[in-house]
Chains A and B, each alone.
Chain A
């Protein structure tokens, strides 16, 4: 009970102010991400309201902001294009179910297997995709379009140096929308892309046939959405943990994201997750508790009702300018020095992650490919095994150094000279570790081959766990053993 009070009411003033700032900063992004996904801006705005309010109550990281995000929107593009909004809502429900299961099964523990190179690749690919999504909205349309993008960038980067109370992107939107309307400037607007319905979200069951075919259409999207949503949410949670010097419950967060997406699907919203940029804005503006997230969601809904009519008139170049700023802020600019300083294999994993995402437009595939590649590179690195040969009198000692497992057995066996006859051979494992049955099989093979040449073989220096697996699986203890096929 006292923890609940701390999470909600220990920072009331700071939370309310920060929540309002976040709501103001959320609007342009929620609209832009809807446009990326190919749905009406209301879908992203409803989602942002629902997800923020629900995660305020049941999320695992107080003070974190979750809403409609670019990473999720990018995954939805083919689904919306080929099947329409109703299938997106159904996929959002299923995403929620999968994420809830992730939480129950404590999948968040697997996050430690995602190397930092993959995470850096993830944010960089996300930044590049958000930028590329803006290109059609401002390149080669008209001179005035370029001018509006440039003015927007000038406002969002220049203004905060003098005035910080209201987020600069919102000021850019309000001022430049007014300029475009009153100056009768001819540019594309948000209204050209969708219709904003100015009402509270209402409960509805997605209008899709409830059959296996529907499930097969939405399942791949839901799995990708669930993975990407969890990865970005847990990364954001770590950032908020670090900024506030407090801990968070990652499994509760996964369950919370799941429930939030499940409910959002019923209210006509698209799947979302935690937002790095907005969460940083929240903490920097003084937000710490759950109240800040709730205020962000509620105030956003208030703004939608008040501003609903204006949203359709927002010029697209202005929104594109703001999204260029978002992509610049998302990109990890220290990646360039990382590429120079990090080990080659890590740099390669980062680049491959980015390349896979750009080629497939799917962040989930990038993460999976990155993790897989780094696992293979790690196995390759650790599978280098050394065998040092030492002779003293008629005894030949082989000192084995390294990890003996399926990937290193071949190299291990190649190190031995089997032309010996009638000698005493010592295999010294004191600097080695035998991990699996392939490793045991290789030891068997070496020993039995030497015995076949009339040599006497002694094994020494096995550490306890290697000895255990040898005793369990090896056949060389039997003097008449033949090689079995491992």
Chain B
């Protein structure tokens, strides 16, 4: 059984589907710690700062992205907690998982096309390649 599960969330629909899968695992394993990790992508900070009037608005917008995921766990009364870190999403998730002795990473695949994947790089691909624990990718 898993003791510390990490759900990497970015506010996308795929992340929400991943949350539902995480919920299934969590409800089968009482006592498993559920941590929801939100990585603020440093490449997007310029855009976010430009498109918001102040710090409060940015925090509000980021919090809003995670609300649907919060609901998934809260509805079922599954204990969970949120962590926000900064960085390049792929490596940041891997590093965080290593430092915090995570034993399963769950994340959604972004579903990019071939060109986007070449330009942006796939987060899930990077995580699978470099993580030292099992990784579950939800399509």
Residues on A facing B (Cβ under 8 Å) = 112, 115-116, 119-120, 123, 235, 238-239, 241-245, 276, 280, 283-284, 332, 334, 338
Contact = CB atoms under 8 A, between A and B. Distances in A.
Interface stretch (B4-12, B19-27, B41-49, B131-139): B41-49
10 contacts: A112-B53, A115-B53, A120-B50, A123-B50, A239-B45, A242-B49, A242-B55, A280-B46, A283-B42, A332-B46
Contacts of A241: 55
B54 to A, nearest CB: 7
B60 to A, nearest CB: 14
A239 B53 contact: no
Task: Tell me the dominant secondary structure on chain A's binding face.
Answer: helix
Interface string B55-97: 1001000000000000000000000000000101000000000
A284 B41 CA distance: 10
Given A243-B86, A244-B86, A120 B51 contact: yes
Given A238-B55, A245-B86, A280-B46, 8 more contacts: A116-B52, A123-B50, A235-B49, A239-B46, A242-B40, A243-B86, A280-B42, A332-B47
Task: Tell me the dominant secondary structure on chain B's binding face.
Answer: helix
Contact of A334 (B40, B45, B47): B47
A338 B51 CA distance: 9
A332 B45 CA distance: 12
Interface residues on B, range: 10 to 19
Interface string B103-137: 00000000000000000000000000000000000
The residue in B43, B47, B50, B54 that gathers the most chain A C-beta atoms within 10 A of its C-beta is B50
The residue in A112, A120, A239 that gathers the most chain B C-beta atoms within 10 A of its C-beta is A239
Q: Which 7 A-B pairs have the closest CB atoms?
A: A239-B49, A243-B45, A242-B45, A238-B49, A243-B42, A334-B47, A120-B50
B45 to A, nearest CB: 5
Contacts of B88: 284
Contacts of A112: 53-54
Nearest to B47: A334
Contacts of B58: 242
Contacts of A245: 86
A242 B48 contact: yes
Given A242-B58, A243-B86, A334 B42 contact: no
A164 to B, nearest CB: 11
A238 B50 CA distance: 9
B12 to A, nearest CB: 16
B5 to A, nearest CB: 25
Nearest to A240: B45
A116 B52 CA distance: 6
A148 B98 CA distance: 44
A346 to B, nearest CB: 11
B85 to A, nearest CB: 9
B64 to A, nearest CB: 16
Contacts of A235: 49-50
Contacts of A116: 50-53
